[in-house]
Chains A and B, each alone.
Chain A
Amino acid sequence: MNILKKIIQKLIIMAALLTASSAVLWFLPGDYNHDLAALINKRALLVSKKPPRIVFIGGSNLTTLKSKKIEQMVTRSRKAARSVVNMGLWGGLDMARYLEEIRPLLEPHDTVIICPEYAPLLDPAFYSSVQRDEEAKKFFFLMSPLKRIEESIRAGDYGEIIKTIALLNQLKIKTYLHSLINRGEGHISTGGFYRYAADYNSYGDRKFPFKLMRPLRSGGIVFQKPVMENLLYLKDFTIHAQKNNIRVSIAFPPFPEPEYRRNQQRITLLYRIIRNDLKLNLLTRPEDSVYPELYFADTVYHLNEKGENLRSQMLAEKLSELIH
Chain B
Amino acid sequence: MLFNSIEFIIFFSIVAVIYYRIPYKWRWAWLLACGFWFYMSFAPWFILPLLSVILIEYLAARLIEQKENRSISARIFLAVGITYPLILLIIFKYLPFFNDAVAQTARLLHLNYPQKIVNLIIPVGISYYALQSISYVIEVYRGSQKAERHFGIYALHISFFPKIIAGPIERPNLIKQFLRKRPPDYRDITDGLRLMAFGFFKKLVIADRIGIAVNEVYNHPYDYHGIYHILATAFFSVQLYCDFSGYSDIAKGAARVLGLRLMDNFKRPYGARSIREFWRRWHISLTTWLRDYWYIPLGGNRVAGWRWQYNLFITFLASGLWHGASWTFVAWGVLHGLYVLAGVWSIRVRSNLVHRIGLYRLPRLYRGLQVSVTCILVGFAWIFFRADTLSDALYMARQVFTGAGDFLSMLFADDAAGLRALFNIARDNTILGFSRETYRPEMLIALVSIISLGIISTVQERTNAGEALLKKGAFVRWSLYYLLASAVLFFGMFTKEQFIYFRF
Q: Are A194 and B189 in contact (CB under 8 A)?
A: no
Contact with B along A167-199 (1 / 0, CB 8 A): 101100111011001100000000000110000
Q: Are B17 and A4 in contact (CB under 8 A)?
A: yes
Check if B181 is an interface residue, CB within 8 A of chain A. no
Residues from chain A with a CB closer than 8 A to the CB of B189 are 3-4, 7
Instruction: Give the number of residue pairs across the A-B interface with Cβ within 8 Å.
Output: 66
Docked pose: A163 CA to B496 CA in angstroms? 12
How far, in Å, is B20 (CB) from chain A's closest CB?
A: 6
Residues from chain B with a CB closer than 8 A to the CB of A33 are 437-438
Q: Are B489 and A174 in contact (CB under 8 A)?
A: no
Q: Are B441 and A163 in contact (CB under 8 A)?
A: no
Contact residues, B114-133 vs A (CB, 8 A) = none
Q: Are A166 and B494 in contact (CB under 8 A)?
A: yes
How far, in Å, is B139 (CB) from chain A's closest CB?
A: 35
Q: Are B440 and A181 in contact (CB under 8 A)?
A: yes
Check if B482 is an interface residue, CB within 8 A of chain A. yes
Contact residues, B163-216 vs A (CB, 8 A) = 184-186, 189-190, 193
**Given contacts A170-B490, A174-B442, are A4 and B437 in contact (CB under 8 A)?**
no
How far, in Å, is A157 (CB) from chain B's closest CB?
A: 11
Check if A159 is an interface residue, CB within 8 A of chain B. yes
Check if A294 is an interface residue, CB within 8 A of chain B. no
**Given contacts A177-B445, A178-B438, A194-B437, are A18 and B486 in contact (CB under 8 A)?**
yes
Contact of A17 among B184, B441, B482 (CB under 8 A): B482
How far, in Å, is B153 (CB) from chain A's closest CB?
A: 24
Residues from chain B with a CB closer than 8 A to the CB of A14 are 481-482, 485
Q: Are B494 and A178 in contact (CB under 8 A)?
A: no
Q: Are A21 and B441 in contact (CB under 8 A)?
A: no
Q: Are B186 and A3 in contact (CB under 8 A)?
A: yes
Check if A320 is an interface residue, CB within 8 A of chain B. no
Residues from chain B with a CB closer than 8 A to the CB of A170 are 490-492
How far, in Å, is B388 (CB) from chain A's closest CB?
A: 26
Contact of A34 among B437, B440, B444, B481 (CB under 8 A): B437
Contact with B along A23-47 (1 / 0, CB 8 A): 0010000000110000000000000
Check if A6 is an interface residue, CB within 8 A of chain B. yes
Residues from chain B with a CB closer than 8 A to the CB of A4 are 17, 20, 184, 189
Check if B91 is an interface residue, CB within 8 A of chain A. no
Residues from chain A with a CB closer than 8 A to the CB of B459 are none
Main DSSP-derived SS at the B contact region: helix
Q: Are B485 and A18 in contact (CB under 8 A)?
A: yes
Residues from chain A with a CB closer than 8 A to the CB of B20 are 1, 4
- B185, B440, B490, B494: residue with the most chain A Cβ atoms closer than 10 Å: B490
Main DSSP-derived SS at the A contact region: helix
Check if B51 is an interface residue, CB within 8 A of chain A. no
Residues from chain B with a CB closer than 8 A to the CB of A1 are 20, 184
How far, in Å, is A93 (CB) from chain B's closest CB?
A: 18
- A169, A175, A177: residue with the most chain B Cβ atoms closer than 10 Å: A177
How far, in Å, is B490 (CB) from chain A's closest CB?
A: 6
Docked pose: A1 CA to B494 CA in angstroms? 34
Residues from chain A with a CB closer than 8 A to the CB of B489 are 18, 21-22, 166
Residues from chain B with a CB closer than 8 A to the CB of A25 are 490
Docked pose: A130 CA to B415 CA in angstroms? 48
Q: Are A7 and B190 in contact (CB under 8 A)?
A: yes
How far, in Å, is A242 (CB) from chain B's closest CB?
A: 41
Check if B394 is an interface residue, CB within 8 A of chain A. no
Contact of B437 among A3, A169, A178 (CB under 8 A): A178
B437's closest neighbor in chain A, by CB?
A: A33
Residues from chain B with a CB closer than 8 A to the CB of A178 are 437-438, 440-441
Q: Are B485 and A181 in contact (CB under 8 A)?
A: no
Residues from chain A with a CB closer than 8 A to the CB of B190 are 7
Check if B6 is an interface residue, CB within 8 A of chain A. yes
B10's closest neighbor in chain A, by CB?
A: A159
Contact with B along A87-121 (1 / 0, CB 8 A): 00000000000000000000000000000000000
Contact of B6 among A22, A34, A159 (CB under 8 A): A159
A162's closest neighbor in chain B, by CB?
A: B6
How far, in Å, is A248 (CB) from chain B's closest CB?
A: 34
How far, in Å, is A111 (CB) from chain B's closest CB?
A: 34
How far, in Å, is B486 (CB) from chain A's closest CB?
A: 6
Docked pose: A6 CA to B492 CA in angstroms? 28
Q: Are A174 and B485 in contact (CB under 8 A)?
A: no
How far, in Å, is B14 (CB) from chain A's closest CB?
A: 13
How far, in Å, is B131 (CB) from chain A's closest CB?
A: 34
**Given contacts A14-B482, A18-B486, A159-B6, are A7 and B186 in contact (CB under 8 A)?**
yes
**27 contacting pairs across A/B (C-beta < 8 A):** A1-B20, A1-B184, A3-B185, A4-B17, A4-B20, A4-B184, A6-B186, A7-B189, A14-B481, A14-B485, A17-B482, A18-B482, A18-B486, A18-B489, A22-B489, A25-B490, A159-B6, A163-B494, A166-B489, A166-B490, A173-B441, A173-B490, A174-B441, A175-B441, A177-B444, A181-B440, A195-B437
A-B complex: 3 closest residue pairs judged by Cβ atoms? A177-B441, A174-B441, A33-B437
Beyond the given A14-B485, A34-B437, could you list 11 further A-B residue pairs with CB under 8 A, ordered by the A residue number? A1-B184, A4-B17, A6-B186, A7-B190, A166-B489, A173-B491, A174-B442, A177-B440, A178-B438, A178-B440, A181-B444
